[in-house]
Amino acid sequence: MGSLRKLQENWEGLAQADPLWAICTDPERRHHKWSEQQFFDTGRNEIARVLHYIASLGLPIDNTAIALDFGCGVGRLTRALAGHFHECWGVDISPTMIDMATDLHRDTSNCKFFLNEAADLHHFSDGFFGFIYTSIVLQHIEKRYAQAYLLELVRVLKSGGVFVFQVADRDNSGLIRRFRNVVGFRSKLERLLKRNKIQSRMEMHCIREREIRELLSKQDVRILDVKITNSTESSFGGDLRFLEQEPRRGYVSKQYCVVKMS
C-alpha cells in the first residue's frame, strides 16, 4: 500500500520534470511544448463547459461564494474558476505545483493557493466553500485516501453548495490489456522521469459508482447527476468532453454533480 508521502514525492517528481505535460498529457505537448496561453485556455473551456452543464440541471450558482479547486496543480482550473466566483482557492499536495501556481497567477488577486500535505482538510472549517471542483486528481489517489477526501470535501461545502468531482470508475479492458494500461500509463511518465533522473510513478485508482453512492448515502448530500467523461484518456489534453457511452476499453471516467442539503 502506498502512503501520502510517496504520492507527494511522485507529484513533486512530475512537477519538477514537465509540470504542464504531467497535468495534461497530450503527447504533442511533451518536452515543455505547452504554451501557457494554450494550457490555461483549456482550463477556461473546461470550467465554461462545467458551469453550462450545471446551469442545464437548473442549479443556481452563488457567484459571491468562495470556490475550491482540490488538486489544483499549477492553477489551470483555479484561475478559470476565479473568473466566475468571488474567490477561488487551490489546494495541492505538491510544493512545486503550489509555488508555480502562486507565481503564475500573481496577477489574479482572487486566486489563492495552499499546500495541504494531510489526509484531511483540517485547515478549512465546515461549510466554508460555496462551490467545489476536482478533476483528474482523485483518479491518482489510493482509494482509502480518495474516499476520505471526498468526505472532507462534503464537510467543507456549505448548505446549498454544489460539488462536482471526477473519478476513475473502473478499467474496462480485459486482463492482458488492463495490465498493459497500467504499464503503459506508467511507462510514459517513467520515461520522462528517468530522463530527468527522478524516481516516480503515476498510479491510477478506481472507485465504482455503487461505492460512491454508498459512501455519500450517509452524508447530507444528493447526487443529482453522473456523466461519463474523457478525463481518464492517457493522452488527455484538457479538452473535457461528456461521452454518450462508456469506452469499450480502458478506464471509465465519471463526473458526479452533488448538492449539499440545507
Size of the site for ligand SAM (CB under 6 A): 19
Q: Which of 51, 65, 66, 71 binds ligand SAM (CB under 6 A)?
A: 71
Contact 133, 230 (CB under 8 A): no
Query: Residue 176 CB, nearest distance to ligand SAM (Å)?
Result: 26
Residues contacting residue 151 through CB under 8 Å, at least 6 positions apart: 215, 219
By CB under 6 A, what part of segment 108-147 binds ligand SAM? 116, 135-137, 140-141
189 belongs to the binding site for ligand SAM (CB under 6 A): no
Burial of residue 195 (CB within 10 Å: 0-12, 13-18, 19+) is: exposed
Supply the DSSP string of 124-184, one letter for each residue: S-TT-EEEEEE-SSGGGS-HHHHHHHHHHHHHTEEEEEEEEEEEEEEE-S-HHHHHHHHHH
Q: Which of 66, 94, 169, 237 binds ligand SAM (CB under 6 A)?
A: 94
Comparison of 2 and 160: residue with beta carbon closer to ligand SAM? 2
Comparison of 161 and 238: residue with beta carbon closer to ligand SAM? 238
Amino acid at 11: W
The conformation of residue 27, written as its DSSP 8-state character, comes to G
Comparison of 160 and 205: residue with beta carbon closer to ligand SAM? 205
Residue whose CB is nearest to ligand SAM in the complex, by number: 73
88 belongs to the binding site for ligand SAM (CB under 6 A): no
23 belongs to the binding site for ligand SAM (CB under 6 A): yes
Q: How far, in Å, are 85, 175, 209 from residue 79 at the CA level? A: 10, 40, 30
7 belongs to the binding site for ligand SAM (CB under 6 A): yes
Per-residue cell: 97: 505545483
Binding site for ligand SAM (CB under 6 A): 7, 11, 23, 71-73, 76-77, 91-94, 97, 116, 135-137, 140-141
